[in-house]
Amino acid sequence: TSIAETSLTIEGITLVVDTGLERRSLMNPLTGMASLETVTASMASADQRRGRAGRLAPGHCYRLWAKEENSNRPVFSTPEIALTDLAPLVLELAQWGVSNQTMLTWLTPPPEKAWAQATRLLQSLEIIDEKRRLTRHGQALATLGLSPRLGHMLVTANRLGSGGLACDIAAFLMERSPFQNHHAEVDFSARLRLLQAGSHPNGVNRSTLSRVRKQSRAWRGRLKPLTDTSQLSIGAICALAFPDRIGKARSASGLDYKLSGGGAAAFTAPNPLSGEPWLVITELDGRTHEARIFTAVSITLDEIETLFESRLVHENQLHWDRQQQAIVSRNVTLLGEIVLREQPAEMPAGEETVDIMLQVIRKLGLSCLPWTKAANDWLERLRFLHHIQSDRTTLPDFSETALLETLDEWLGPWLSGISKRSQLANLDLKAILKSRLSWEQQQSIDKLAPTHLTVPSGSRIRLQYDGERPPVLAVRIQEMFSATDSPTIADGQVRVQLQLLSPARRPVQITSDLAGFWSGSYQEVKKEMKGRYPKHHWPEDPINTRPHATVKPR
């Protein structure tokens, strides 16, 4: 707490000069640790500071900002617990035996997401165990008074023979960049080289280097016994502090990296580190989608596997390869979210391949399946009947939406052993869908939605179904002579849409009211058709004329 905002009374204070700023402990996305940042003070803090000037005697307060700016300031300061890194707090409470935040009564409860994130970090650093109890390793670093990341790095590196170098690295991580142009040097190891140089080039902040040396000496004094044989590289030591920021190059440009802790990070421009296959990101911004890399250091795959041997996960993975249009099986070694090594593996049999194929089909849509004309025609007939039936439970819903929603039920059992898109061609979709219906349901489809109708000429003509709309019967006019009304299906519920054709099989009229056509527009059609097709019969009274399917001389 700022001295000006405590209950401490200092005699002789009659004048307060308020800059309107304050130093607060905030989570620094650059380093993944808390640091003191200068921010705008709230009006509540400003009022407390003003009160200092008149505590024991009349006084004055000078605020170094315009009065109009008061409305832009926060009324109250956000509690620090909502803004800072909670890992040190979780570590300290673990020393008291507190394993869950609900065990305490808080003035301001810590954010659950931040608490869970801090807990995961401490567990990944092996500072607390699965039951959130302090480990022996955690007890050793708790005495250093450092952030968990840096404490873990110092204790572990010292055990591995590189305590001295780790102290130098920790000091640099706690300080601003020693380069006056903070982002001019992206290679973090360049900072370590400054400590070894006899003289420093222009553009280096000497006071920063002085503070780094002082802090490093202080930590060297705390590590007992100190090891300094430099068994580890700079990248390996940094990886101890940032196991969640180990990056694997994911493009040919070498600018963007996938991170072990999830997410991605990228350089904004080519530099000496871009193209390195493996990096430890020491500073990045706070974006979660694709963070910007400010500083990093290279590390080798062998170093990663040696340092994190106990955390490596070996498993078989299946994924869909777009180029091969097939499921690919591989054995992989994982560190968090990144794949360290992989090699082709035998394709396993079981539900996993079925699940992947179902996901692929859902993504591509039903059009990727081998829909034959017979399967499509049958499906349209069923959809038509489902639409017109009064009881929608008589037949199942086989709309595209319903089929996608129930894909695992009707198609899943038939995908066993299929791992390639080309193998889908072997599926008999009509038989698969019909197997979902009872014998009675299949019979009702044939009865209520027939594939063909026999017209007055005796010809058996195919009906064209199109979902919910009435089916279409395309037939030449001469074949419908003598018919007094349009044909129906579904036990007379639905009139068929007649597409009456010329002798050349071109549509001349579409109607579902044949009687109305004979008594109405037929005469106009007859005049036109008689001139075009004089060899065909165009009677004055079609209802009382014998139908025929062939040319009939007048």
Q: Is-contact 247 284, C-beta < 8 A?
A: no
The tokens describing 111, both together, are 């954010």
pLDDT score recorded for residue 553: 47
- CA-based Rg of the chain, rounded to a whole angstrom? 40
Q: What is the mean pLDDT of residues 45-50?
A: 88
Q: Give me the sign of the Cα torsion angle 208, 213, 219, 221.
A: negative
Helix (H) or strand (E) segment spanning residue 142: helix 136-142
Question: What is the pLDDT at residue 281?
Answer: 94
Q: Is the dihedral of CA 531, 536, 538, 539 positive or negative?
A: positive
Angle at 174 between CA 17 and CA 124, to 5 degrees: 130
pTM, to two decimals = 0.68
Mean pLDDT of 34-43: 80
Among 441, 361, 362, CA closest to 397: 441
Which of 467 and 107 is assigned the larger pLDDT? 107
Cis peptide bond prior to 29, omega within 30° of 0: no
pLDDT at 422: 95
Averaged pLDDT, 419-429: 95
3-state secondary structure 179-240: ECCCCCCCECHHHHHHHHCCCCCCCECHHHHHHHHHHHHHHHHHCCCCCECCCCCHHHHHHH
- Torsion sign across C-alpha atoms 41, 45, 47, 51: negative
Full strand arrangement of the beta sheet holding 460-466? 452-454, 460-466, 469-476, 497-501, 507-511
For residue 315, the cross-strand partners are: 332
Decide if 58 contacts 14 (C-beta within 8 A): yes
Bridge partners, residue 297, by sequence: 280
For position 24, what pLDDT does the model report?
79
Q: Is the pLDDT of residue 166 over 60?
A: yes
Mean pLDDT, to the nearest integer, of 450-454?
95
| Average of per-residue pLDDT across 40-69 | 88
Q: Is the pLDDT of residue 84 over 90?
A: no
Distance CA 184, CA 178 (A): 11
Residues 6+ apart with CB under 8 A from 269: 255
pLDDT at 4: 66
DSSP character string of 146-191: S-HHHHHHHHHHHHTTBHHHHHHHHHHHHS--SBSSTTS--BTHHH
Q: What does the pLDDT read at residue 197? A: 74
What was the pLDDT predicted at 298?
Answer: 97
Regarding beta strands 507-511 and 264-266, do their DSSP bridges make them parallel or antiparallel, or are they unpaired? unpaired
Average pLDDT over residues 83-89: 87
Q: Where are the domains of the chain?
A: 3-82, 317-361, 363-448, 452-544
Tens digits of per-residue pLDDT, 208-223?
899 999 999 999 988 8
Q: In this prediction, what percent of the chain has a pLDDT beyond 90?
A: 57
User: Can you tell me the mean pLDDT for 268-280?
Assistant: 92
pLDDT-based confidence at 361, cuts 50/70/90? very high
What is the residue-averaged pLDDT of the chain?
89
What distance in Å separates the CA atoms of residue 249 and residue 267, rounded to the nearest whole number? 11
Residues in the chain, overall count: 554
Q: What is the pLDDT confidence band of residue 230, given thresholds at 50, 70 and 90?
A: confident
114-149: pLDDT as tens digits: 888 889 889 988 999 988 899 999 998 888 888 899
Residue recorded with tokens 């190891």: 189
Residue 531, pLDDT > 50, answer yes
**C-alpha to C-alpha distance for 387 and 497, rounded to whole angstroms:** 17
CB atoms within 10 A of CB 310: 6
What are the b/e assignments for 341-350, b being 16+ CB within 10 Å?
eeeeeeeeee
pLDDT in tens, 250-264: 987 789 999 998 889
Residue 35: pLDDT above 70?
no
Class for domain 3-82, per CATH?
alpha beta
Is residue 286 scored above 70 in pLDDT?
Answer: no
Predicted local distance difference test score (pLDDT) of residue 393 = 56
CA distance 44 to 48: 6
d(CA 283, CA 174) in angstroms, rounded, equals: 11
Could you count the other beta carbons within 10 Å of the beta carbon of residue 53?
Answer: 20
Task: Quickly count: other Cβ atoms within 10 Å of residue 45's Cβ.
Answer: 22
